[in-house]
Amino acid sequence: MEIEEQSNVTEIENGSAVTVQQGQALSQSSAQTSMPPPMQTPSVIQANQQSVIQTAQSIHSSSIQGQQIGLAQTVPGVADPEDPGVLDEESKKRRDILSRRPSYRKIFNDLSGSESPTKVETISEDIQGQSDGTEGNSPIAVITTSALTYQQAPQTVTIPGTIQIVTSGEALQAVPMAQNSSGTVVQYQQQQQDGQYIYTTNPGEVQVQQVQVSNTGTMYTIPAGQQQFIRGQLPPGVVLNSPGIGGNGQQIAEDASRKREMRLMKNREAAKECRRKKKEYVKCLENRVAVLENQNKTLIEELKTLKDLYCHKSE
DNA sequence: TCCGTGCCACGTCATTGATG
DNA sequence: CATCAATGACGTGGCACGGA
């Protein structure tokens, strides 16, 4: 039985050039599935199965690994990208071919009722959530990360770590915020000035001012002339911003650069999240395939039994 | 040991669809 | 309409594995 199921799935998967290793995933997912199967006729089941398979094929053939499948490269009729005259045409054709699918969030919602998919724990959400929980008080982000890797003073840096949100009501004496690789604390939360929180490399030495906490990240402004103190790692979503350096043109360029870095960083995170959701979605589809195959098999056997019974009675 | 191959994860770009 | 999140496409590097 198990072998049969696996071979079925393998056939399906082979048909759609799937590279996911199936056997274990399916037997595991069958066991995990707790959803009671609704009563369906074999034809309904087949229709369901077909739908699931088609969806899975659509997903798998459309991407998983662009490098391995290379759809855009093998689709007939796609123009030569070297030719600028056909770029629009090519783009349009490509768009037609690679018609956009609904987001995995939506698909998940469709698959599992109105519930949202597994909540993703992110720094941004933590910031948002905790900020929401501190009504009236302006939250400040305290960098609690350790391990520093760069020595120069970049205009924009993004670094892994964690953020601890505290409210303005809490004590603001020197709190270690970041440490270098040897464990030396290089940043402190120091004091409040004009409604802003000041961070220092050492107590008494201003380094970074927090200017914004949002659900997309925390931005710190480094006072002009103090960029030499910028070193260390900050949490994801935290951007060190150095305004007022050089002339206006340079500032604009820096703004553009910072915006770009911010956009790239967000997109990086979004891509990770998207891949995670995609994997989850594919697993979900595999589960459904396994469940529906089980149902199908059970009902076919049931039908066979009833047929036999009916034949014996009529004889 | 080296090399080719497949798989996977990642970063980036281009594009789309939703939203304010 | 501008902005932004989501996602497909593509290129790249790392790793495992099998064969020469």
**pTM for this prediction:** 0.40
Structure tokens at A250: 């340079």
For the stretch A279-315, pLDDT in tens is 888 888 888 888 899 999 999 999 999 999 998 888 7
For the stretch A122-149, pLDDT in tens is 223 332 323 333 222 222 333 323 222 2
Structure tokens at A305: 């039994």
Residue A275, pLDDT score: 86
Q: Is the per-residue pLDDT at A207 higher than 90?
A: no
Q: Is the per-residue pLDDT at A265 higher than 60?
A: yes
Nearest to A208 by CA among A227, A195, A194: A227
Between CA A67 and C1' C12 the distance (Å) reads: 10
A278 touches strand C (CB under 7 A): yes
A276 touches strand C (CB under 7 A): no
Structure tokens at A255: 């703004």
- In percent, the amount of chain A with pLDDT more than 90 equals 5
For the stretch A33-80, pLDDT in tens is 222 222 233 333 333 333 333 333 333 333 333 333 322 222 333 333
Q: Which of residues 179-238 of A touch strand C (CB under 7 A)?
A: 216
Q: How far apart are CA A142 and CA A234, in angstroms?
A: 10
Q: Which residue is nearest to nucleotide C8 (CA to C1')?
A: A63
Between CA A15 and C1' B8 the distance (Å) reads: 21
Residues 6+ apart with CB under 8 A from A66: A72
Cα–Cα separations (whole angstroms), residue A16 to A7, A23, A175: 14, 16, 56
Mean pLDDT score of chain A, rounded to an integer?
45
Q: Which residue is nearest to nucleotide B8 (CA to C1')?
A: A65
Model confidence band, residue A263 (pLDDT cutoffs 50, 70, 90): confident
* Nucleotides in chain B with any atom closer than 7 Å to protein CB: 6-17
A105 touches strand C (CB under 7 A): yes
